[in-house]
């Protein structure tokens, strides 16, 4: 059972020092079906017991390799997917099972920016329709006010408001991502899940979008969950970073601290694997190369999930699941034998 008692302050009013979004014991499984009758034969444990707090105004980076459950966690957090177990709270209120009008209200507070600006924009709609759709759904602005709001949103993300009648194909990848950002901002949200927002963009365009996201955060007092696999980008944009592996959070710490002094062996190997664009450094760098592949999330290893690839694993690691424990101020890791 998730430790609900540990969830912060459900009994008193939420204050700005409490986490804006908080999850305890969150699990999300997907059924694997097989055979003529498509019977469920197993489950993919995409998110398998996650505790996480996101503070108001911060950017929490979420990193991990493909299939580690980071996107599923992001989507479950904002109720695009329903959790199998656990509690999600927003401003101190349990939103795990919100529905109807309260879920609708939530949708105005939590939005999402998607990875692929080609797939996430309907090619048959004009930019004005795309950015205006959330306004219509939530009946926020009508008539001339609506037109003005769309223009304002386009300006906010650095697009020309005169381009409202254009279609997505008339824009470059970077501009399309700006349209996706304008759509996410339309309802004036407080919390945005950015799911790999720059991974499909060219290197020279990525920095433009990162700077835009940072400027918008400062201007609109936004809180981000920034999901990415590029550790250099995550380090740059995040205040704190959480590292996921096979459905679990392995380590969470302030960004600089995590990169300077990783405590979980998985974090250490991830950082060691990132190429640094400096031949002098690359030449002398010690290469610790992680062997093997990520284990299957259908049948994860017993005990610590990373133990099958971990250079420090001992017997005990197969017997018990290491809890995510505090190792310093604001620094937690789930490892029995952490790095120094």
Q: Which is nearer to other proteins, 10 or 205 (CB)?
A: 205
CB 109 within 8 A of CB 90: yes
From residue 232, alpha-carbon distances to 241, 246, 259, 289 in Å are: 12, 21, 10, 18
Among all chains, which residue has been given the structure tokens 């194909």? 169
* Shortest reach from residue 327's CB to other proteins, in Å: 21
**Only segment of 5-13, 136-144, 205-213, 319-327 that touches other proteins (CB under 8 A):** 205-213
Judge whether 242 and 60 are in contact, CB under 8 Å. yes
Nearer to other proteins, 110 or 227 (CB): 227
Which strands form 110-113's sheet, in the order they lie side by side?
Answer: 110-113, 191-195, 223-227, 59-63, 240-245, 248-254, 331-333, 325-328
Q: Dihedral of CA 28/33/38/39: which sign?
A: negative
- Minimum distance from CB of 203 to other proteins (Å)? 6
**Tokens in use for 65?**
């390799």
Q: Are 210 and 233 in contact (CB under 8 A)?
A: yes
- Residue 64 CA to residue 71 CA, distance in Å, equals 10
List the helix and strand counts (H, then E) for the chain.
11, 12
CB of residue 210 vs other proteins: minimum separation in angstroms?
A: 6
Q: Does 282 interact with other proteins (rule: CB under 8 A)?
A: yes
Pick one of 12, 287, 329, 340: the residue that binds other proteins (CB under 8 A): 287
Give the sign of the dihedral formed by CA 303, CA 306, CA 308, CA 314.
negative
For position 298 contacting other proteins by CB under 8 A, the verdict is no
DSSP alpha helix (H) spans, 203-331:
203-220, 231-237, 255-260, 265-273, 279-284, 315-319
Determine if 217 is a binding residue for other proteins (CB under 8 A): no
**What x/- string results for residues 15 through 54 when contact with other proteins is judged by CB under 8 A?**
----------------------------------------
Q: Using alpha carbons only, how large is the chain's radius of gyration in Å? A: 21
The yes or no reply on residue 273 touching other proteins (CB under 8 A) is yes
Stretch that binds other proteins, among 33-41, 71-79, 189-197, 279-287 (CB under 8 A): 279-287
Report the residue number, 4 or 274, with the smaller CB distance to other proteins.
274
Q: Which is nearer to other proteins, 38 or 291 (CB)?
A: 291
Q: Rule CB under 8 A: say whether 277 interacts with other proteins.
A: yes
Provide the minimum distance between the beta carbon of 118 and other proteins in the complex, in angstroms, as a whole number. 12
Each residue 64-103 as x (binds other proteins by CB under 8 A) or -, in order, gives: -xx-------------------------------------
Query: 96-103 long-range contacts, Cβ below 8 Å, gap at least 24?
Result: 103/79
Question: Per rule CB under 8 A, is residue 160 in the interface with other proteins?
Answer: no
Tell whether residue 269 is a contact of other proteins (CB under 8 A): yes
108 binding other proteins? (CB under 8 A): no
How far apart CA 95 and CA 109 sit, in angstroms, is 12
The residue from 194, 270, 313, 334 that contacts other proteins (CB under 8 A) is 270
Site for other proteins in 222-241 (CB under 8 A): 229, 231-233, 235-237
Site residues, other proteins (CB under 8 A): 65-66, 172, 174-175, 202-208, 210-211, 214, 229, 231-233, 235-237, 255-256, 259-260, 269-283, 285, 287, 289-291, 293-294
């Amino acid at each position: 059972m998730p430790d609900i008692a540990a969830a912060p302050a459900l009994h008193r009013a939420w204050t700005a020092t409490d986490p804006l979004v908080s999850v305890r014991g969150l699990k999300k499984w997907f059924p694997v079906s097989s055979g003529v009758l498509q019977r469920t034969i197993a489950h993919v444990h995409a998110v398998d017991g996650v505790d996480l707090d996101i503070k108001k105004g911060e950017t929490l980076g979420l990193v991990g390799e493909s299939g580690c459950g980071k996107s599923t966690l992001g989507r479950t957090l904002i109720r695009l997917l329903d959790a199998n177990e656990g509690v999600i709270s927003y401003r101190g209120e349990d939103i795990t099972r919100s529905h109807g009008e309260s879920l609708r209200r939530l949708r105005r507070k939590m939005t999402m920016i998607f990875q692929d600006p080609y797939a996430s924009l309907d090619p048959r709609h004009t930019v004005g329709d795309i950015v205006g759709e959330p306004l219509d759904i939530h009946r926020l602005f009508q008539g001339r006010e609506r037109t003005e709001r769309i223009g304002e949103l386009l300006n906010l993300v650095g697009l020309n408001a005169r381009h409202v009648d254009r279609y997505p194909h008339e824009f470059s990848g970077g501009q399309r991502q700006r349209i996706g950002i304008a759509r996410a901002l339309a309802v004036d949200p407080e919390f945005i899940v950015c799911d790999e927002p720059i991974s499909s963009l060219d290197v020279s365009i990525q920095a433009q979008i990162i700077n835009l996201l940072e400027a918008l955060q400062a201007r609109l007092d936004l809180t981000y969950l920034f999901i990415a696999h590029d550790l250099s980008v995550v380090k740059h944009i995040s205040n704190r970073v959480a590292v996921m592996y096979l459905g679990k959070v392995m380590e969470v710490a302030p960004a600089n601290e995590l990169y300077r002094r990783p405590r979980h062996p998985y974090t250490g190997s991830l950082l060691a694997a990132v190429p640094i664009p400096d031949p002098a450094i690359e030449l002398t760098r010690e290469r610790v190369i992680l062997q093997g592949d990520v284990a299957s999330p259908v049948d994860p290893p017993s005990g610590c999930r990373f133990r099958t690839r971990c250079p420090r694993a001992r017997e005990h690691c197969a017997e018990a699941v290491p809890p995510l424990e505090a190792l310093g101020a604001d620094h937690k890791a789930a490892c029995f034998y952490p790095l120094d």
